[in-house]
Amino acid sequence: MPMVQIENLDIVFGNQKLESLRLLDKGMSRSEILARTGDVVGVQDATISVEEGEICVLMGLSGSGKSTLLRAVNGLNKVARGRCLVKDGERMVDMAKCDENTLRHMRTNRVSMVFQSFALMPWMTVLENVAFGLEMQGMGKKEREERANKQLKMVGLYDWRDKKPDELSGGMRQRVGLARAFVMDSDILLMDEPFSALDPLIRSQLQDELIELQKRLKKTIIFVSHDLDEALKIGSKIAIMESARIIQEDVPEQIVLNPATEYVEKFVAHTNPLNVLRGTALMTPLDQVAQLDDLYRVSEHLSLNIQAGVLKEALSHGQNIALSKWDDSMDIENMPENTIVVAPVDISMRDAVEIRYQTKQPIVLQDNGQCVGVLGDHQFYHALLGKHFSRAS
Amino acid sequence: MNWLTEHKIPLGDTMETFVNWLIDVASFFFDFISVTLETLIFSMVDGLEWMNPFAVVACVLALVWWLHRSLGIMIFVAASFMLIMNLGYWQETLQTLVLVITATTISVLVGVPIGIAAAHRPMLYTVLRPVLDLMQTIPTFVYLIPTLILFGLGYVPGLISTIIFAIAAPIRLTYLGISKVPNELREAGLAFGCTKAKLLYKVELPAAMPSIMAGVTQCIMLSLSMVVIAALVGADGLGKPVIRALNTVNISQGFEAGVAIVLVAIMLDRICKTPSSKAEG
């Protein structure tokens, strides 16, 4: 069962929703409807589901409807049509239709939110801000301050608990915002461009912190961003929105490798491939490598002896060189020079380039114990020049 | 031209009929308000007059210390009170203070909820705005007449006129404060499970507090500015000697009473203003 399931969701702002929906069904565009009824179509026919533990990034430029869609999940935006199901224990609650009490129950127990401009109460101390949601739950003062203090320690702001938000830097304020959301212990976190208002260094630091926290806490996160690099870094799934519609929804690598429209293609054109691409997409499959006397000739000087999918020996300038294995858990920095490394096929490009840098040799990729391809300088240059990031021609 | 002046629109007569009708229908109601308020004001004035003047000054100084921790304001307040006593306007000052405080309290108790309601209902504010403008621009003397008829001579018509004149400030500034609460704070409140009531008490009111406090300060100042006019309908206080001086062309009495009013105004301003501006900063 997914944690959040959005089905054919439309959101319209204005006074003539029924008429606008009718025009929408007739296939009219956003601007035509604005001219006819004065209504703004926020989200049109959005369908997406988010599984437990996933970080789903809603990506798009401002005005594309990503924040609007996010706000439907905790009922801050009224849904004009469609369903927005959120898991509550063993049942799914439709946030579009539930009554006030259910809505409040969902907000206090299931869904928490982090805001772009932090939205901390300026008259409250940091501690009171973090405890705000717990207070709304009706928790006693002593218990909620205890839990808020614990959360503040986790984000490293315990010493600042008695300060007011305006005495804190931007990065610290958003840590308070994160603590306020995490302390609720809800399964679902909504993050509305939480790091956009921060400077780049702090932003990437907080992104790393979020990834670390997520490894431990395994929340379901819906994250809104206009920054593709951020989306690729933290997202386990990305949905790209353009003028109120979701135009592509996929895992990060597929978004950059197979952009669905020209719009997405433009978006991904300047992505740093080191963060996204994996061996699967980069490698030259074994069956495309030139063969000579049962040896695979990777380059003029390097031949590989692969039998029944297993690397037996590697010859460089006619000399046998060492073989070695690598996986995620291992260090790269201490790899010996002149070694052929066998690595998992889903190795990230960053790791692969680093292994190549240490060993000064190409890498052999394997899948389920079977060698499937090789990864060398040519493949890296190809990726760095952005040649992967175009629509299949 | 005759056609224009021949048939006069009975604007004034209608108003008079309306006031007469009010007296016929609800005189017991106005009497009740009149008696209640008068009793309240008299007992407060009597209580303060019964106390030793220096005890009253000490209480005010304690309040100043609690609010501001400023020796300068304390010295100014003490000196002002002593000058007023020296001039012989102690009793009038007490009466004026009671009138101002009562008018402000009632204005705030009524005005703040109206301001909140207006901020939540745009339609209500559209209706309310011209009424507030009218209440502040119509010459005070004009509504002094009906209040005099409805409530009789004394403190009460003065008090009611003062409230009509001053209540616009807390209404407007409460409205302004609440409608200027950043939407994100409201969303944050809702997202963490506020009910409507909790949203008001935990988010909107604290966020609007600086603006509401500015409204209270303004209300106090507007009330004080009505002192002389209230004296016209028989409200005791610092306005009385001014009116008397005017009628007898008595320069020295007029000047002294005027100085006393100015001193009270500056004291009230100093006492009220700083906490709100501190909260804003």
- CATH code (residue B84): 1.10.3720.10
Asked if A133 reaches chain B (Cβ–Cβ under 8 Å), the answer is yes
- Give a yes or no: residue A148 inside a domain: no
Q: Which residue has the higher pLDDT, B12 or B204?
A: B204
Determine contact: B24 vs chain A, CB below 8 A.
Answer: no
Largest CA distance in chain B: 70
Q: What is the pLDDT of residue A94?
A: 93
ipTM of the complex in this document:
0.81
Looking at the fold, whether A325 and A229 belong to one and the same domain comes out as: no
Average pLDDT over residues B263-273: 88
Contacting residues for A21 by C-beta, under 8 A, at least 6 apart: A10, A12, A80, A81
Question: For the whole model, what pTM was predicted?
Answer: 0.82
| Main-chain dihedrals φ then ψ at residue B265, nearest 5 degrees | -60, -45
Residue B166 lies in a domain: yes
- Partners of A191 in beta bridges: A114, A223
From B106's Cα to the closest Cα of chain A, the distance in A is: 27
pLDDT for res A160: 93
Contact A95, A73 (CB under 8 A): yes
Which chain B residues are Cβ-neighbours of A111 within 8 angstroms? 191
- Is residue A364 within 8 A of residue A279, CB to CB? The reply is no
Does some domain include residue A321? Answer: yes
Q: What is the pLDDT of residue A385?
A: 80
Choose among B62, B58, B141, B156: nearest CA to B102.
B156
Alpha-carbon distance B37 to B29, whole Å?
12
Q: Does A24 share its domain with A98?
A: yes
The answer to whether A107 contacts B206, with C-beta atoms less than 8 Å apart, is: no
A303 shares its domain with A329: yes
Identify the CA nearest to A9 among candidates A100, A111, A84, A112.
A84
Using CB atoms, pick whichever of B182, B184, B193 lies closest to residue A107: B193
- Is B7 inside any structural domain? no
pLDDT in tens, B122-161: 999 999 999 999 988 888 888 888 888 888 888 899 999 9
- The whole-angstrom separation of Cα A32 and Cα A53 is 39
Whether B183 has a pLDDT exceeding 60, the answer reads: yes
Q: Which of A271, A289, A320 is the last residue of a domain?
A: A271
Quick check: A117 contacting B, CB < 8 Å? yes
- Chain A residues touching residue B210 (CB < 8 angstroms): none
Mean per-residue pLDDT pooled into runs of 10, chain A (393 residues): 92 91 90 91 93 93 91 92 92 91 92 93 94 92 94 91 92 92 92 91 90 89 92 91 92 87 84 83 87 84 86 86 86 86 90 90 90 89 77 53
Asked if A136's CB is within 8 angstroms of B198's CB, the reply is yes
Query: Do A77 and A55 reside in the same domain of the chain?
Result: yes
- Out of A243, A271, A299, pick the residue that ends a domain: A271
> Do A378 and A290 reside in the same domain of the chain?
yes
Rounded to whole angstroms, the Cα distance separating A235 from A303 reads 39
Determine the Cα–Cα distance for residues A381 and A275; give it in Å rounded to an integer: 15
Q: Domain check: are A263 and A289 in the same one?
A: no
CATH number for the domain that contains residue A88: 3.40.50.300
What is the model's pLDDT at position A279?
87
pLDDT of residue B277: 45
Pick from A271, A293, A308: which residue ends a domain? A271
pLDDT at B200 over 80: yes
* pLDDT exceeds 60 at position B281: no
Q: For residue A112, which residues of chain B lie inside 8 Å, CB to CB?
A: 191-192
Domain range for A328 is 279-384
Those residues whose C-beta lies under 8 Å from the C-beta of residue A5, and which sit 6 or more positions away, are A49, A50, A83, A84, A85, A92
Residue A10 Cα distances to A59, A99, A199, A316, A320, angstroms: 18, 19, 34, 62, 64
Please name the residue of chain B whose CA is at the shortest distance from the CA of residue A180: B192
Angstrom distances, CA of residue A302 to CA of A358, B130, B178: 17, 90, 75
Residues A284 and A372 in one domain: yes
Q: Kindly calculate the radius of gyration of chain A based on its CA atoms and give it in whole angstroms.
A: 25
pLDDT score, position B274: 57
Checking if the pLDDT of B10 tops 80, the result is yes
| One domain for residues A223 and A359 | no
- Most B CBs within 10 Å, among A15, A70, A121, A164, to test the B interface: A121
**Is A293 among the domain residues?**
yes
Instruction: Using the predicted structure, report yes or no on whether residue B280 has a pLDDT greater than 70.
Output: no
Residue B145 structural domain: 13-280
Alpha carbon distances (Å) from A393 to A256, A380, A390, B72? 15, 21, 8, 81
**What secondary structure letter does DSSP report for A95?**
T
Q: Is pLDDT at B14 greater than 60 in this prediction? A: yes
